[in-house]
Chains A and B, each alone.
Chain A
Amino acid sequence: MWWCGNILHGSPWRIPFPVLLVDSAAINAQVHHCVSSHLLQTRTVLILVYGRYDRGFSITEEKINLRIEQADTIPVYVRECKGARIEKYLAADYDAIHIHPVEPVNLPQEITHHLEISFPPIVIPSAAKKKFYVTFPVEIGVFFEIRGEMNILDIFSLVPTKFSLYGLPGTGIITRWHRSGIFGDIPVTDMHREGVLELTLINNSATTAEVSRAVLDSYGMQMFYGDRVGMTATMEIISPLIASTTFAALPPRGCPHRSIDLYAARKFAIGPRKSFFMESGMA
């Protein structure tokens, strides 16, 4: 298991070191799509580092390999994963490659833009405010940069995907579903599989509320990375059945670098949404 990547020093996404050593026993590992399960049985795991890389980059981690090849002077992006090979020819002369965590709602196909995090029930009294941490799944985006403009090249994930229905079939929404624990402090996670959401719960309703899930709109997500992948959000309980979730632009502790917004890279004609109203309950 090894890693090779050329990091451009002085770039806004410069990483001080290319390889992190992490004790895999501390990682809340899950069965994943791309990397074989015996990878997680090793004691030490080399993990990829997010950031900016020059044109001839190559990354290998046991069963997954990302690189740029040249085919008749045309650059070709190659991802090899568990015997499957994906190739994409680049028709433009790019300046650099970026690997960033992106909003986890793209795989295996774009069915939804909402993320639902399910966690053990929390009972919060009226007028109370409490901050805690939950995990969320991570998808990895590969971008190519042309004159400062980011263009999406590939998205992949090392965690399995599960969908759910929030609300009724007629009026509800499909969500990307993720099960998390509740943590009082930042949990240790594998940053290529799970990120940490700093969720502040505010009960502005007149009664005690029980909360066991948060539904978040990916169009408002603001992801950061560094020691881990992180986001900050607030969940305001308006009534026993209605809450609003809002992302904050504040980088969480240990995550100083801002990720590229996928909807911005795709040039969607939409701006970031401020809040999502959970109108089908919180438990």
Chain B
Amino acid sequence: MIPLPQVLPNTTIVISHLSDETNVIGTSSPREIVLLFASLAIAYLLGLAIAHYLKLKLSHRLKPDQLHLMNRVIMAILFLVAFAITIPALLDLSYTLILLVSFGIIAIIGISSQKVISNMVGGLALVYEHPFASGDFISTGNVSGTVVSTRLFSVLVRTTSGVSVQIPNDQIYSSDVSNYYANVARRYEYVVGIRYKDDVKKAIGIISGLLEDYTFVLKNPAPDVFVNDIDPDSVRVMFRIWFPSVWAKTKDDISFQTEILPRVKAALEAAGIEIPYAHREILFADPHPALPGFRAGQK
């Protein structure tokens, strides 16, 4: 049997070189292993303590997702510091080797999980552009609801019916998003029809007075009340009003319907102005038309 060094002389040399570089595996002692776990535990406990402190001090000034992100970043930094202190000494690794291994791992993960990376990049773009924050009411695709949190890979939205919907970041970033809370004020439009014979100026005056008295209808920009259209059944009076967004938070805020529209109806009716129902007046060319099977004049 031929000895291995004679068959594969180069390989043997390489192995012997590797065995000389025992620092690849490391000569870690139990003390260094304990130090690693201790430093990780300290970093974790310190992160929890900082998170608790920040929650006490900043919870009324920051939104929950902002506070959560801040805590995650602090925790990640603490862990990195713990690793940076302990790992090289533990494994006797050079920083060059650590970088090479890291790049290799990143490349493998990147190739095998493009969708995940895409969501992560989308999440970073959302954090940078900040089109909405937690607590905002948004509408994207078929989903409308309040943003609960913006996370690394997805956005969690709670719909008005109480359903939590998780939307991938790349999907939300590449589609249209309407934020109903981005501006401090929002405009609503409503139309009320009155009869042809009703006094339009009087109706406009009544509606304007009601809007003036309502707390959440903004003084400026002033409400617009005007005749919008004259359709076959009614004269259509439109009113456009501005609300504070913080009050009118949802897309279809029912406060307006429940509080203002009933008042408008009651006030108009109290003033003798009616909201008409649709009607048609049919005129016949022959006032006594003959029905099929009957002669004229036959009953």
Contact = CB atoms under 8 A, between A and B. Distances in A.
Contacts of A128: none
A160 B212 CA distance: 11
B60 A269 contact: yes
Interface centre among A108, A166, A169, A172 (most CB of B within 10 A): A169
A172 B184 contact: yes
Interface residues of A, number: 20
Contacts of B190: none
What secondary structure prevails in chain A residues at the interface with B?
loop
A174 B215 contact: no
Contact of A269 (B57, B218, B220): B57
A163 B218 contact: yes
Contact of A162 (B57, B219, B246): B219
B216 interface: yes
Nearest to B186: A169
Interface residues of B, number: 19
B17 interface: no
A30 to B, nearest CB: 12
B219 A164 contact: yes
B184 A173 contact: yes
Given A108-B215, A160-B215, A174-B246, A165 B185 contact: yes
A56 B267 CA distance: 45
A164 B218 contact: yes
A177 B215 CA distance: 10
23 contacts: A111-B246, A161-B215, A162-B215, A163-B215, A163-B218, A163-B219, A164-B218, A164-B219, A164-B220, A165-B185, A165-B220, A165-B242, A166-B220, A169-B242, A170-B182, A170-B184, A172-B184, A172-B185, A174-B184, A174-B246, A177-B219, A269-B60, A269-B61
The 9 closest A-B pairs by CB, nearest first: A164-B219, A169-B183, A169-B185, A164-B220, A177-B219, A174-B244, A165-B185, A161-B215, A170-B183
